[in-house]
Chain A
Amino acid sequence: MTDTLTPPTTPNPPVRQSLPGRAWALVRNTWRGLTSMRTALVLLFLLALAAIPGALLPQRSLNTQKVEQYIADRPTLGPWMDRFELFDVFGSFWFTAIYVLLFISLVGCILPRCWDHYRALRTPPVPTPRNLGRLPHHFSETVDRDADAVVEQARGQLRGWRTEVRPGKRDGEVTLSAEKGYLREFGNLVFHLSLVGLLASIALGKLFGYEGNVIVIADNGAGFCTTSPAVFDSFRAGNVNDGTGMTPLCVRVKDFKADYLPTGQAEMFTSNVEYQAGEDLSTDTWRSTELRVNHPLRVAGDRVYLQGHGFAPTFTVTFPNGQTRTETIQWRPDDARTFLSSGVLRIDPPGGMYATDEERRQNQIAIEGLFAPTALFHGSLLTSSFPTMDDPAVAVDIYRGNTGLDTGRSQSLFSLDPEMIKQGRLTKEARVNLRPGESTTLPSGAKVTFDGAKEFVNLQVSHDPAQQWVLVSALTMMAGLLVSLLVKRRRIWIRAYPAESGAGTVDQRRTVVEMGGLARSDQAGWGGEFDRLRARVLDAETEN
């Protein structure tokens, strides 16, 4: 470069990969990063961290009312928390993102390891390292036998180990490599693959499953059949389940019995039911069974649970022209200990009593109030003292007018629409306490009789087609875990060569035996087994 006029040559730019090459490198590096143990650890942490609000905050899946209350109490923060799905943690976008990434990382880590393990099973144990003295477990001694015999005997002692005998570098040297504990990695792989299976079967169950709750009065009445979601009082179904094609099932409830201790603590809830499923539906055969807490009915792959109970008061209204209407409807138990319940019973006047529908609508009768299974009056205030129906009574307000069921506005099953009362379209005609058989006559002439109460049960029908696979996955997971934690992967090497006697001459009868051991897995306390093996393999020979 003598010519100063030539501009200085710029150094060659580094070879840039082509765009697809760079894209591929990015994908490859991301994949490597994602499937590294470090990432898996961070994701495990995030998973634990992300689940914390699920335990501390009220969750919609468990109790919607609590969530509503929580948000109502925090008018500014609440809606924001809701926006970040803090009340639906386990279905939220961030929780899903974490576990999906974790499972991708897991699969990306496990599949190559499966292949590695398969290859490891087909390769003989690694050759003996040069310096056995460097291994954590090491032993050496001289015996009066030749090298081949030593190694052959050692091989005989190492039953259950994978062994490989190779000639050594020295003249007359024989080495033995032995390895055991391949099951550890196998168990580890089974554990992680079952984890994937567990997630997949839970997901399948959630997609195709459904769950419905229905209240049935325990008087051997019509019961219900799983014909459509409308049969149920509440119905939750998976995303691909539209409510058709439910497992055909009919249930009717004969009776219900609750046993209590004198303290009022519940002992057991029992209900006798009859059911039809499968073949029985076409032949109209009813089979009876007993439902109890912890003892659901398992039929046709579905389960029927006894999940709750309560009281359904019966009232009869005798209209001035002598016609009667009798109805029984569930009231909501407000106090879990005494079963003081509240609710409302709405009765339409019989057809033909009034000239027009409009007039008929003006004369509907609504009975709203409290029911106590064992009545206790403080003056005229009704409470309940015990949860069994020993001395039932009701304290009710009786209204006449338009209950508002035809207005199209939704209203609670257990309370009247306060708007109808406020507007004066529903007027209070009486406030009375009644025991069974007692009645009161309204100013309009109708007589309201309290006939007593029946028990109702809350039944849940659950359908989860993948549930048994969840169980199978969980069990194989535990088996894999146990194997991977209990089995130790360890290697042993033995090198035997003729001992030198004196000035460099080889003594063919005396053999130096070196033995080294290495536990490959993170396992404390392997020294014991090494010493026992040494005793079996070497000391046994010294005695010969």
Chain B
Amino acid sequence: MPIDETVARYSDFAFMSAMAIYALALVLLLVQYASARANKVAERELVTAGAPVDPSLPGRIETPAAKPTSERLGNMAFAVLLVGALLHVGSIVLRGFATHRFPLGNMYEFTTMATAAAVVIGLYFLRDQRYRSMWVFLLVPVLILMFLAGTVLYADAAPVVPALRSFWLPIHVTIVSIGSGVFLVSGVASLLYLYRMRQPAGAESNSIFGTIARRLPDARTLDQLAYKTTIIGFPLFGAGVILGAIWAEAAWGRFWGWDPKETCSFIAWVLYAAYLHARATSGWRDTKAAWINIAGFVAMLFNLFIINMVISGLHSYAGLN
């Protein structure tokens, strides 16, 4: 079936707009991040504002304390992010309509899906006010990945090779890309956790690093976020690998053949399993576990970029010839 060029252009346009909007949200979030002093004052104000009002006093109209600028900026950024995420998902859907197939046939499409998953997962897990400062650190890798997707990895809308013409494509690749997105959130949380362990809440240094750390959630919150996201990502990614094996049995004649991509997925899965075990082992629970989580994410990144672009294997569908 021919490619619908117009729809493909709309898809590209939506992708570019999503990137621009994320960039705008990033600017808003950075401004919010920078106005931290206001934050401290605001906390004090909120305490008084939250005190119960005596209902027996008639006629007094309580004007709610004005929200501090930084908080309003953060809320604006969150709303802007929502629009960006909608456009992002829209670009994926349009790509599917343009090519008349499931839009996960090359690395551009995979990276777009994974970053969209990371943002959507972020919108769910980081919706709370206290996580707002984390968005800066999540949006930076998302924007970098999207930039790479739009430039280096970009592939024109096109049909896929015969081996990819299977109903397993949407199942296997969607699950793996969503898993990758979840792991991105988890990896960022673990990185920030390690940073926060060096600059613990209440004892931050007076340098710029301390100032940056002061805006972050405390170490415990970050650690729990990393764990909560990993226990979603781990079974998702595991299911993705198993479904991939079921597909490989039909497409390549064996369910597992240590193809570089399979090997690297195995490594990443073992590392995440090690992370979950480390969380249950005394002496490994804190920093070491976080490092393992980061190692797992590095393996995922390696799997996506190096394996697809440098090492040739059966998964070389990058579309970068």
> Which residues of A are at the interface with B, using a C-beta cutoff of 8 A?
37-38, 40-41, 44-45, 47-48, 51-52, 54-56, 59, 61-62, 89-90, 202, 211, 261, 265-269, 292-296, 303, 305, 307, 460, 462, 467, 470-471, 474-475, 478, 481-482, 485, 522, 524-525
Contacts and interface: CB of A to CB of B under 8 A. Distances in A.
B270 A470 contact: no
B281 A41 contact: yes
Contact of B227 (A44, A295, A305, A522): A522
27 contacts: A37-B281, A41-B278, A44-B270, A44-B271, A47-B270, A48-B299, A56-B311, A61-B257, A61-B258, A62-B257, A261-B159, A266-B161, A267-B159, A267-B165, A268-B162, A269-B162, A293-B251, A303-B249, A303-B253, A305-B252, A460-B253, A467-B255, A485-B235, A522-B227, A524-B227, A524-B228, A525-B224
Nearest to A209: B254
Interface in B31-59: none
Interface core residue of A44, A48, A61, A475 (most chain B CB under 10 Å): A48
Closest 8 CB pairs of A and B: A524-B224, A55-B263, A293-B162, A44-B274, A294-B166, A48-B270, A305-B253, A485-B231
A240 B159 CA distance: 44
Contacts of A47: 270
A262 B278 CA distance: 54
A88 B274 CA distance: 25
A524 to B, nearest CB: 4
Given A44-B273, A467-B249, A38 B281 contact: yes
Contacts of A475: 242
A522 B280 contact: yes
B284 interface: yes
Given A51-B267, A265-B158, A524-B224, A62 B259 contact: yes
B234 interface: yes
A52 B265 CA distance: 11
Contacts of B162: 266-269, 292-294
B212 interface: no
A136 to B, nearest CB: 12
B264 interface: yes
A265 B278 CA distance: 47
A62 B260 CA distance: 9
Contacts of B284: 38, 41
A167 to B, nearest CB: 36
A179 B250 CA distance: 46
A464 to B, nearest CB: 8
Contact of B264 (A55, A266, A307): A55
A522 B270 contact: no
Among B253, B255, B266, B313, residue most surrounded by chain A Cβ atoms (within 10 Å): B253
B196 to A, nearest CB: 16
Contacts of B280: 37, 522
A396 B273 CA distance: 58
B9 interface: no
Interface string B134-166: 000000000000000000000000110111011
Contact of A54 (B242, B249, B263): B263
B258 A45 contact: no
Given A266-B161, A478-B235, A525-B228, A59 B258 contact: yes
Nearest to A66: B312
Contacts of B254: 211, 462
Nearest to B262: A55
Given A55-B264, A467-B249, A478 B279 contact: no
A293 B251 CA distance: 6
A293 B256 CA distance: 17
A45 B277 CA distance: 11
Contacts of A295: 250
A470 to B, nearest CB: 7
Contacts of A266: 161-162
A20 B264 CA distance: 46
B161 A478 contact: no
A187 B290 CA distance: 25
A266 B165 CA distance: 11
A471 B277 CA distance: 25
Contact of B307 (A51, A55, A460, A524): A55
Contacts of B165: 267-268, 293-294
B246 interface: yes
Given A41-B278, A303-B253, A485-B231, A471 B246 contact: yes
Interface in B228-248: 228, 231, 234-235, 238-239, 242, 245-247
